[in-house]
């Protein structure tokens, strides 16, 4: 029942209005999931890493913010740190991702690195999609592509950690959004936990990011990993996934969950209801239903460009 959306600017320009486009698409799907909402956006890129951190349940957010910064400084140089709602945004010098995330999350079990990458930023919270702009100013975000999710919880709890998008912990710039059920989730989770993988939720959607991360680590491309997932993930599902340079989708081999694609020469928009595609592409386009077991992939041009001479506005 959840709403999933994605937008990809095919030209590779780094200042496309991806944030406001995703917000319009998500708002159109707000009736599908009133419990929580989130966005993942791939922007121009930092000289180092951008990290979003859930500060957790504490009566003193400022003290928790200082502790996160102290822990990050044990690993690398912290260039900026700014709190937004329940998330802290850090821009840091280059670092080993696992070591940086482990240092930050050592503060306590309620502290979580929500996203980490050179280009990826994830924001999410409990509530309807429109609250994302109030809390994070997402309508001003620019970039090359992004994902969005609005959630109706059917099994696991309603909180920030269980909200989507999910960052694939430990793999910079990889994130997913999902609608449906992964029925071999418990089997796969046991296998991955025996290999030392930590899970942060009881949400079956989290397994997709873990699966894709392991496929990429094994040398597969994102397109190859998406195709493999159709064979190896059981259930009724459609999901979107992206890295810093690629954007794609996968749909279960039974075709039980809807997924529509609209494409022009300029951009691609994907959602699980056509109403979300209307207006996303700024002109005439035809939506098509992704086929049974379908996989789609689009890759960013090798050389990025800017649409305008002025610098794009960055996420605050």
| Beta-bridge partners for 145 | 8, 42
Global pTM value: 0.92
Q: Please, are residues 297 and 8 in contact by the beta-carbon 8 Å criterion?
A: no
Would you say residue 82 has pLDDT above 90?
yes
List, for residues 235-249, the tens digit of each pLDDT value: 999 999 999 999 999
Would you say residue 311 has pLDDT above 50?
no
What pLDDT band is residue 307 in, cutting at 50, 70 and 90? low
pLDDT of residue 148: 96
Planar angle of CA 299, 303, 307, nearest 5 degrees: 95
List, for residues 251-306, the tens digit of each pLDDT value: 999 999 999 999 998 999 999 999 999 878 877 778 999 999 999 999 998 765 55
Which architecture does CATH list for 3-45+120-299? 4-Layer Sandwich (3.60)
pLDDT of residue 286: 86
What are the CA-CA distances from residue 106 to residues 52, 67, 70 (Å)?
15, 10, 12
pLDDT of residue 313: 44
Mean pLDDT of 160-183: 94
What pLDDT band is residue 310 in, cutting at 50, 70 and 90? very low
Q: What is the average pLDDT score of the chain?
A: 91
What pLDDT band is residue 207 in, cutting at 50, 70 and 90? very high
pLDDT of residue 58: 85
Catalytic positions are 2
What ranges do the domains of the chain cover? 3-45+120-299, 47-118
Class of domain 47-118: alpha beta
What is the number of alpha carbons within 13 Å of residue 77 lying toward its C-beta?
Answer: 5
């Amino acid at each position: 029942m959840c709403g999933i959306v994605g937008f990809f600017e095919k030209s590779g320009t780094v200042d496309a209005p991806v944030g406001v486009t995703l917000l319009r698409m998500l708002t159109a799907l707000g009736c599908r999931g009133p419990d929580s909402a989130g966005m993942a956006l791939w922007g121009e890129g930092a000289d180092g890493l951008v990290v979003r951190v859930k500060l957790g349940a504490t009566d003193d957010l400022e003290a928790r913010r200082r502790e996160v910064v102290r822990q990050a400084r044990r690993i690398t140089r912290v260039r900026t740190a700014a709190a937004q709602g329940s998330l802290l945004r850090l821009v840091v010098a280059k670092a080993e991702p696992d070591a940086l995330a482990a240092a930050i999350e050592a503060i306590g079990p309620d502290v979580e690195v929500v996203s980490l990458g050179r280009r990826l930023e994830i924001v999410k919270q409990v509530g309807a999609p429109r609250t994302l702009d109030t809390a994070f100013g997402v309508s001003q975000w620019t970039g090359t592509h992004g994902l969005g999710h609005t959630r109706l919880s059917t099994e696991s709890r309603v909180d920030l950690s269980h909200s989507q998008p999910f960052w694939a912990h430990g793999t910079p710039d990889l994130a997913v959004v999902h609608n449906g059920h992964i029925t071999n989730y418990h089997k796969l989770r046991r296998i991955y936990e025996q290999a030392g993988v930590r899970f942060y939720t009881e949400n079956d959607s989290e397994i997709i990011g873990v699966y894709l991360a392991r496929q990429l680590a094994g040398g597969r491309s994102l397109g190859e990993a998406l195709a493999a997932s159709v064979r190896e993930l059981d259930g009724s599902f459609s999901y979107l996934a992206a890295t810093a340079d690629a954007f794609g989708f996968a749909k279960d081999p039974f075709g039980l969950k809807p997924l529509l694609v609209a494409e022009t020469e300029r951009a691609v928009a994907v959602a699980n209801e056509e109403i979300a595609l209307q207006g996303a592409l700024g002109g005439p386009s035809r939506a098509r239903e992704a086929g049974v077991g379908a996989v789609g992939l689009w890759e960013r041009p090798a050389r990025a460009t800017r649409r305008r001479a002025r610098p794009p506005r960055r996420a605050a």
